[in-house]
Amino acid sequence: MIRLASLAVLAIAGLLAFGAFYLAKGTEGEPSLITTGTPDGPNPASEAPATPEVEKLFFLRGINFDEGEITLVLFPPDADTERLIIRDQDALRAAQDRAYVNTMTPDGEAAGSLLVSMMAETTDEVIAQIFRDDVLIASVTCPNGTCGHFGDSPDLNFAGLTDHAVPFQPVMDEFSDYDAYLETIEAIAQTPDFMLLDRRPLVDFPLPRRPSHLIVELPTVVTTDVAFNPALHEALVQTAITPLLPDGASLDWVRVTELPAAILADADNNQPVLVNGAPIPFTDARFFTVRARINGVTTLPADVYNALTEATRNQVDTDARFSEFVSATLGADCLDCYVLKIEGGRTDAARAFDWRSESYYLNYYDLREAP
């Protein structure tokens, strides 16, 4: 089985204020200053800058291109425009001092900022994400969904990087085998033509193993024994199930749960019969649901269900008691006009109640040249 190395998770940094921006680098070393303004320094005093240099965030400055491969994912403000993925290292280097987002709107409101962390929770809209070797190292954001004003304005400059976007196909994989799921993640990590990028799940990645399972509902216990012990019935069910399980299956748990008292209901519509506005409980018998979870399978052969039914049925005949109850309570002669209504229902035979196949989902990008 291919084992994945633990994924390094970057520490969360807060939103960065305009002016000077600090980026917690992780493997980049000590926190370094991301400067603002034009790359060649301030304009001569005789030339008033078109935009105050404090307003520009050059989001690629300070990125170490000598360690791993840098990938930039751009999210256009137009929701109908597909995101762009740039991997050309020379183009990214060349744009370090040219690609920017303004940090203030003309009315003085905050616009762009730099958010560091793959796991940060924010309501801000993402303009771009920067990855090193498929691991997020920074995001460029704007507050509260205001990125739309960047569409056709000088507040955002990608410095020609959009011309270097690579073709890609989103891939949505589903696996029923855990080893195949882990092997695919490992292959993506080793193969530059496939990347997770912004499709990497933020938590529980890789997913823990989730084996297929089946929940069997066994015959409802119906007893008039006030000393009935649910734990003893659980042990009975465990003893009955274990030798019947197919190879690869295992018993996880058995649960016996007492139900609320059954109530008298109209046989025609199953609605409770009320006396003085209240339902009439039938207290001459107790009812218990019995369920068992079996891991490793999603079904059982019919003969196994039949065997479990015979081995675990514990139901007393309540017909006589019920007739007496109806006569005494309602003074009715039509005994067939009434039934017992049991919350959650009653089952007289073992059956599949719920099941889930083993499955794992993985979304990623195929970055090979389009055919």
Which pLDDT belongs to residue 204?
A: 83
Q: At CA 23, angle to CA 20 and CA 25, rounded to 5?
A: 155
Which pLDDT belongs to residue 47?
A: 47
Task: Return the SS3 of 48.
Answer: coil
Report d(CA 54, CA 302) in Å as an integer.
Answer: 74
The neighbour count for residue 42, using CB atoms within 10 Å, is: 10
Q: Which residues of the chain have pLDDT under 50?
A: 1-54, 111, 115-121, 371
In DSSP notation, 168-209 reads -EEEEEEES-HHHHHHHHHHHHH-TTEE-GGGS-SSS-SPPP
What's the start-to-end Cα distance of the chain, in Å?
A: 33
Which pLDDT belongs to residue 368?
A: 87
Q: What is the pLDDT of residues 205-238, one digit of tens each?
A: 999 988 899 999 999 999 999 899 999 999 999 9
Which pLDDT belongs to residue 80?
A: 62
pTM of the model: 0.59
Task: Return the SS3 of 240.
Answer: helix
Which pLDDT belongs to residue 37?
A: 32
Which pLDDT belongs to residue 39?
A: 32
Burial letters 80-94, b for 16+ CB under 10 A, else e: eeebbbbbbeebbeb
Which pLDDT belongs to residue 333?
A: 73
R_g (Cα) of the chain, nearest Å: 33
Report d(CA 203, CA 198) in Å as an integer.
Answer: 13
